[in-house]
Structure 1
Amino acid sequence: MKQALLSTARGVGLFALARKASASKLRILCYHGLWTTPGFQYGNRLFMPPEQFDARMTRLRRSGYPVLGLDMAVAALAAGTLPDNAVVITIDDGWASTHTHMLPTLEALGLPSTVYVASWYVGRDLPVINKAIDYLHARTGRDPAGVPDRIAAIDALPPEARADAMRALSVEFGVPLDWWETRQFHEMTPAEVGDCARRGMDVQLHTHRHRAAADLLAGELEENRVRLAEWTGLPPGHFRHFCYPSGEYEAAAEPVLAASGVLSATLTDQGTNAPGANPFRLRRFLDGRTVTDAEFDAYLSGALDVVDAAAARMRRR
């Protein structure tokens, strides 16, 4: 139904009309990592194939939409001086594929981007445990109800024992260790984070341990900022943009962010951002493997909100 609505909307000129009507709004694209392991595909909105990311960024580059760095865009949004239909590219978490695959594509196309790095896993030869265990269950068709207990069991081990435990679990499940060899669930190394910054990718805050409860946030930001400054060689004051881990927003976080010198914070909620929007509640478009080019174009044009509302009304009938 949605694809039919998008086709109709484009055909009757809604995309073009929406582009003009929403020209003053900021569009923010959201990505995570790329799926570099052969075979089974996991994580629709978490990982997409490298060739799909390449095609998407090429499509954006050819679209004529101006792509800005996050810091410039946030300042222009507040001042009401954005160029028409401005777009920002953001990448969450700091997965290894950000450096190995996404950065070269963005460099080749001359597109600025921001990566929000959660720092605890950086520098540890460990996969992100909860995602890797969920993947092993999904790949083998096992009951996902067992995931929390296995996560808790491995999290209870000292960090130096977790790598062996994860490899042993993969062997127990009969899953080849190709996902370990491709660093599918690993984050970047400190050297890779630093290389991203040197090559022009903006590195920003995502907490240290990927948790954003308001009572922990000040400490998480400080530790995150110290690590990022160490790895990039940039002053701590450079790190002044934030992404809520897993999109978990609390109103109580806003004064903590402001007191910590943070200027903006992004959600995973879909939408565009009008001049004067709350800079601590910036909406984005979460791209993914099953997102079509038509949906992508509809978001950039500003028409997707109209189409989504129409689709919801039709479902209620």
Structure 2
Amino acid sequence: MKRALIRTAYRIGKLAGLFALARRITRRRLRILCYHGFTLDDEAAFRPSLFISGETFARRMRTIARKGYPVISLDEASRLLEQDAIDRAPVVITIDDGFHSTHAVARPVLEKHGFPATLYLTSYYFQQGRPIFQLAIAYICWKSPLTEADLSGLGLDEGDALGRVLLDGEMRGELAKQLFVAACATFDSPGRIAFARRLAERLQVDYEAIIASRKLSLVSPEELRELADSGMAIELHTHRHLLPEELDAGLREIADNRAVIEPVTSKPAQHFCYPSGIWSAARFPALRMSGVKTATTCEPGLARHGADMLALPRVLDDSRVSQIEFEAELSGVSDLYRDLVGASKRKAASLSVYGNWVAETALPVLAA
């Protein structure tokens, strides 16, 4: 109900000219848009916080083009921020993780408009060339046509204790979490692949179709080269989709990530995105020692001169965000509202629109 009221208020405000006014007021603030995956099939129904349809993404880009927002590179934006030279309400487009759909769906849309973009690539599954294990387990539990199943004998250390389980509503999500944790504790990387196949067979889901569709897989090295050749900047998102606070572990994550990216792109990777939006000042030393120029969070908002360049906010866009909400963020209306409610209530104000984003999109990776 609250979100419906917000949307209604936005529509009224737009008709009254408040969106145009907000754009002028916030013209010296940078809009950094955040996307993840783009739908090839039913991904948005499975995980609406992570995927957006190609049609919706194309509509968002048409809106930006039609309304005349300048789209600039992240590299240029960081320079303008530091020089206090942001003007005309510029937009930066960023895409996290590196799903295959970035190449298959987003690239043609961006090329049509001539928009530069930044892809933050997490590299473990890029090297593996197979579905992200956590997402595969969750998708199998979500996709199963069964209402109950016997999950004993799957080879988990705790597996036989599962026995017969119900597959109903939120139980599917909870079951997926339980299976993911148990499988990571039991198997190495090849063992997890075999487990996913066994689970899919038990729950009557076509695992080969998941592999063939690449809906839960990342871009290939060839596709990454094509993205880089098209002008997309390929930047850092850690190797295993996590950034520990401990210095040596943090440095390792960035170094391992960079060692995969730079040989493909032949360009230095100097910008960073926190995995799952989990960030803290304790992680800054590893970033600084690694030569990172900027780091983006998943804190909603527009970036301004004077902001910490290692904690830049973004505008999160996904299947749950309506067109009017997107335009409210783009115009700056939402950011002005966050200013109005004050820093102590900014998170609550953002959750009214975005929900518990970090919890729904966390993709930890346990490398063998």
Give yes or no for TM over 0.5.
yes
Task: Name the counterpart of 2:129.
Answer: 125
Q: Tell me the distance in 2 between the aligned counterparts of 1:40 and 1:249.
A: 26
> What is the CA-CA distance between 1:304 and the residue it aligns to?
1.2
SS of corresponding position for 2:104: helix
Q: What are the residue-to-residue correspondences of 1:181-196 with 2, within 5 Å?
A: 181-196=212-227
Q: Tell me the distance in 2 between the aligned counterparts of 1:4 and 1:301.
A: 16
TM-score, length-normalised on structure 2? Answer: 0.79
Asked if the contact 1:126–1:162 (Cα under 8 Å) also holds between the matched residues in 2, the reply is no
Q: Tell me the distance in 1 between the aligned counterparts of 2:119 and 2:129.
A: 20
Letter in 2 for 1:220: E
1:274 aligns with 2:297: no
Asked if the contact 2:69–2:89 (Cα under 8 Å) also holds between the matched residues in 1, the reply is yes
Task: Name the counterpart of 1:73.
Answer: 77
Q: Tell me the distance in 2 between the aligned counterparts of 1:139 and 1:61.
A: 37
CA RMSD of the aligned region, Å?
2.0
Q: What are the residue-to-residue correspondences of 1:128-277 with 2, within 5 Å?
A: 128-140=132-144, 141-142=167-168, 143=171, 144-155=173-184, 156-177=186-207, 178-215=209-246, 216-234=249-267, 238-277=268-307
Residue segments in structure 1 that go unaligned for 5+ positions in a row = none
SS of corresponding position for 1:123: helix
Task: Name the counterpart of 2:55.
Answer: 51
Q: What are the residue-to-residue correspondences of 1:87-126 with 2, within 5 Å?
A: 87-126=91-130
Q: Tell me the distance in 1 between the aligned counterparts of 2:44 and 2:94.
A: 26
Asked if the contact 2:46–2:139 (Cα under 8 Å) also holds between the matched residues in 1, the reply is yes
Letter in 1 for 2:321: V
Q: Tell me the distance in 1 between the aligned counterparts of 2:199 and 2:88.
A: 51
Pairing partner for 1:30 from 29, 34, 40: 34
Question: What is the identity percentage for the equivalent residue pairs of Structure 1 and Structure 2?
Answer: 35
> What is the CA-CA distance between 1:176 and the residue it aligns to?
3.2
SS of corresponding position for 1:122: helix
Q: Tell me the distance in 1 between the aligned counterparts of 2:19 and 2:39.
A: 31
Task: Name the counterpart of 2:356.
Answer: none
Q: Tell me the distance in 2 between the aligned counterparts of 1:83 and 1:38.
A: 39
Letter in 2 for 1:239: A
Q: Tell me the distance in 2 between the aligned counterparts of 1:40 and 1:138.
A: 12
Q: Deviations over 1:121-166 (max 9, x none)?
A: 0131321111222222233454122223311343343323433332
Q: Tell me the distance in 1 between the aligned counterparts of 2:99 and 2:211.
A: 13
Q: Tell me the distance in 2 between the aligned counterparts of 1:40 and 1:256.
A: 34
Q: Tell me the distance in 2 between the aligned counterparts of 1:7 and 1:149.
A: 42
Q: Tell me the distance in 2 between the aligned counterparts of 1:152 and 1:293.
A: 37
Asked if the contact 1:194–1:231 (Cα under 8 Å) also holds between the matched residues in 2, the reply is yes
Asked if the contact 2:130–2:211 (Cα under 8 Å) also holds between the matched residues in 1, the reply is no
Letter in 1 for 2:133: I
> What is the CA-CA distance between 1:39 and the residue it aligns to?
8.2
Q: Deviations over 1:230-263 (max 9, x none)?
A: 22233xxx21100000000111111221111001
SS of corresponding position for 2:297: strand
Asked if the contact 2:43–2:215 (Cα under 8 Å) also holds between the matched residues in 1, the reply is no
Q: Deviations over 1:160-217 (max 9, x none)?
A: 3433332332222222343332111111112222221111110000000001112121
Asked if the contact 2:65–2:113 (Cα under 8 Å) also holds between the matched residues in 1, the reply is yes
Q: Which moved more, 1:72-81 or 1:7-16?
A: 7-16
> What is the CA-CA distance between 1:111 and the residue it aligns to?
0.5
Q: Which moved more, 1:165-174 or 1:5-14?
A: 165-174
Residue segments in structure 2 that go unaligned for 5+ positions in a row = 145-166, 342-347, 353-368
Q: Deviations over 1:18-44 (max 9, x none)?
A: 111111000010000112124871211
TM-score, length-normalised on structure 1? Answer: 0.92
Cα 1:39/1:14, change in 2 over 3 Å: closer
SS of corresponding position for 2:319: coil
SS of corresponding position for 1:41: helix
